[in-house]
Amino acid sequence: MTEQTTKTNEIAAFLKKNAVMVTALLLAIATSCVVPVDRAYLCYFDLKTLTCLFCVLAVVCALKNIRFFYMLARKVVHFFKNARLSILALVYITFIGSMLIANDMALLTFLPLGYLVLKTTGKEKYMAFTFIMQNIAANLGGMLTPFGNPQNLYLYTKFSIPNGEFVGIMAPPFALSVILITLCCILFVKPEPLSIDDAEIKLDPVRTAIYLALFALSMVIVFRVIPFWIGLIVIPLALLILDRKALAMVDYPLLLTFVFFFVFAGNMARIEPVRAFFSALLEKNTLVVSALCCQCISNVPSAILLSQFTMNYPELLVGVNIGGVGTLIASLASLITFREYVKHNPGKAWRYIAEFSAFNFAFLFVLILFMQFCV
């Protein structure tokens, strides 16, 4: 095999592995032909989101390298002792985490834990289901708090929604989501016993403490307590000293995927026929239109785009939250789950997408139907 053939095969493998990133790039290029590049492009990018994503990815890689998640996985198995309860625990942890640290951060933190629980106990058959439930839990769990999902924070600020009213709007779909997720885990996971060897795992106390402190720093940035650029300086510098391998392990194609989708969504919002089309539709049913819009251009850009044409923020808020389930691009957090699954299960992407779509569209249908009777 020639060197050129080897490089061609490597490029083909890279493109196949990062198909979502390539798709996002093509969409960004296509819309850039309609909306020429100008200074407004600089406003497309959410630097805080990209910084937090990078910081959490890097710290999670460092924690993986000291086997921190492996230790947590063992504790989950020892405590719950069967597959159903363990998977329920993983999903609930992700659900609660999304309310506190945002949906994408919850997935970055707890997907590795889910993988290790199933891998170390030989229950890989539940891998796709668990990842899908964790993804749904992250997208729907974050709806209850203003900072749980990025679109919440945007709408909460834009319309100056009072805290009590915000929770009141989101409480019904949140409660139904808890019930649906619990029922799915009970119906689709058998209470099979789990076992794991009793080998003792010892963590480096100094590195563990430092990495957890760095993770806490990332969360503080999410809550806007300190400027995001502090994390961008402190975390890479600390890992350059303690674990350079962690920085090399960061999923940079995922970061680029977010960048390309920011360009695509920003351009879509500036295409006048698109804006006119959505303006007319919103007059008919804000909740349904916003939920369906998310299926095409994701929930964050949908919130930004549609908020320009309606003052019906209760329905818009619900729509862009429940609209986070559905297609793979309905929520950018779903891309995190997809990438993590494909990384551990090469060759099973289409099977995952089929199962992902079945569960997500079922949730979307039930939630929309339920909310039509509530509003």
* pLDDT tens digits, one per residue of 151-174: 887 788 778 888 889 989 999 999
- Whether the pLDDT of residue 226 is over 90: the answer is no
In this prediction, residue 218 carries a pLDDT of 81
- Cβ neighbour number for residue 245 with a 10 Å cutoff: 11
What percent of the chain has a predicted confidence (pLDDT) above 90? 32
Residue 46 phi/psi, 5° resolution? -90, 90
- Whether the pLDDT of residue 290 is over 70: the answer is yes
In this prediction, residue 369 carries a pLDDT of 95
Nearby residues of 98 by Cβ (< 8 Å), 6 or more positions away: 106, 107, 137, 138, 139, 141, 142, 148, 149
Q: Kindly report the pTM of this predicted structure.
A: 0.74
Q: State which of 67-76, 312-321, 326-335 shows the largest mean pLDDT.
A: 312-321
Predicted confidence (pLDDT) per residue in 44-96, tens digit: 887 877 887 788 888 888 888 888 877 776 777 778 878 899 899 889 888 88
CB 257 within 8 A of CB 20: yes
CB 135 within 8 A of CB 334: yes
DSSP letter string, 113-160: HHHHHHHHTT-GGGHHHHHHHHHHHHHHHGGGSTTTSHHHHHHHHHTT
In this prediction, residue 113 carries a pLDDT of 82
Mean pLDDT of 323-348: 87
When comparing pLDDT for 306 and 46, which is higher?
A: 306
Mean pLDDT of 262-288: 82
**Mean per-residue pLDDT over the chain, rounded:** 85
In this prediction, residue 102 carries a pLDDT of 66
Cα 193 to Cα 140, 188, 341: the distances in Å are 29, 15, 24
pLDDT range class, residue 233, cuts 50, 70, 90? very high
Mean pLDDT of 234-256: 89
When comparing pLDDT for 253 and 318, which is higher?
A: 318
CA nearest 322: which of 122, 144, 132, 102?
144
CA nearest 151: which of 368, 311, 302?
302
Q: N- to C-terminal Cα distance for the chain?
A: 64
pLDDT range class, residue 196, cuts 50, 70, 90? low
In this prediction, residue 326 carries a pLDDT of 92
| CA–CA separation, 339 and 336 (whole Å) | 5
Residue 45 phi/psi, 5° resolution? -85, 130
